[in-house]
Structure 1
Amino acid sequence: MSDRTIVVIGGTSGIGLEIARDVVARGDRVVLSGRDLARAQEVASSLGERATGVAIDLSRPEGIRAGLATVGTVNGLVLVAIERDANTVRDYDIARATQLVVLKLVGYTEVIHTLIDRLEPSGETGIVLFGGRAKDIPYPGSTTVSTINGGVEGMTTTLALELAPIRVNALHPGIIGDSPFWAGKPAAVLDGHRSRTPGHQLATMVDVVDATQFLLRNRGISGTSIYVDRGVRVT
């Protein structure tokens, strides 16, 4: 068994849960977070004794320090928590937009600020920030999401410089066909998205987990954004 501890912020469901599950399967320890402590602890318990659950709400960054108080030395950090927002500039909801901006840009940064003295100061330590392909493939209603995910790319480069030798990278998923959000979509919708990829296939949660582990472990990668989208950008 490993003494490595990986923190997964947003690890109680979806892709975050699959990442947490994979961390444990590799023999590492995982600390996973959700908004609700009971839920986070329940999910952690289902993963076994090498998993711990804590509660933080990224949209309320003033409480992040208290929520992470029990976390010890950290060897890897994955910030995967997201919220979805359909918000156009013509019909702009300031409250929804503000919440999402705070969650990702302020919340992600405050988590790193809180854990900075507990992150092992080594090139072996990786931080992975989750953005998304909406940053450069917008869609109707993606005004806030596209802007924020572009901001995640900016965070990646500045934090890679500021936190070195700790490595910081970003992962930008495209449409993940078997994720909880997409799996229930009508077949015609998914087929339309498949047709836009070179191989007519959608990326999977396993693809995202594998890419996350690559960025956590590969000492040669820092300040980089990678895309898990089955090559949609080339069509």
Structure 2
Amino acid sequence: MKSLLLCLFCFVFSICYSQQTEEFKQVKNYYNQHRSMLNTEFKKKFDAETDNASKISIKNDFVFFMKKMDSIENTALVGALLKVKNTEDLNNLNLQKNMKPSADQSKIYPFTDKTADYPGGINALRTEVAQLFYSDAVNSDINPVKTNVAFVVEKNGTISNVKAEGDNFIFNRQAEIALYSVSGIFSPAIINGDPVRCRFKLPLTLNIE
């Protein structure tokens, strides 16, 4: 069994344009619809069966198909991650190219009047990331597996520029997908009454048993 442990720290500084997580939402909605249809069909078959051995077989088939669906969805999410990162890289390059000295957005803010906050607080964010993390994709001879995920909370509360740094490439990638996939919108950090961009750092540890 693989379990995910999370610790959360917050650092503040400015970043580039916001990247919505619409790519990830579209993938998840698509596969959730297919899961719902599979669930309905398997339930009909299960309820119609009277033999207990056959019911167990149907249940095992259902579990197998759902695991396959998880794996296929994860492949699609990896594709969405690459697309989002490419878009962010282009936006960052355009921002640097067009930025005027008087409108410099690269200033680091060591303190804010109000920190960015996730709906339900830090524990809600930890719980959602753990639920979204696809640990079955991660294999490692080193246990536990660790990474540090840095991401930006934009002025509008969305997440962007997610970057995981650890020794296991697949674990890093899954961590980035999980962060981009969270459903909530942060309340942004505030300085002098105005929203500012801020950076969060989220250490993740995966125990493989």
TM-score by length of 2: 0.26
TM-score by length of 1: 0.24
Flag the structure with more relative contact order, 1 or 2, with Cα contacts below 8 A and sequence separation at least 6. 2
If each structure's strand is expressed as a fraction of its own residues, which one has the higher value? 2
If each structure's helix is expressed as a fraction of its own residues, which one has the higher value? 2
Q: Which has the larger radius of gyration?
A: 2
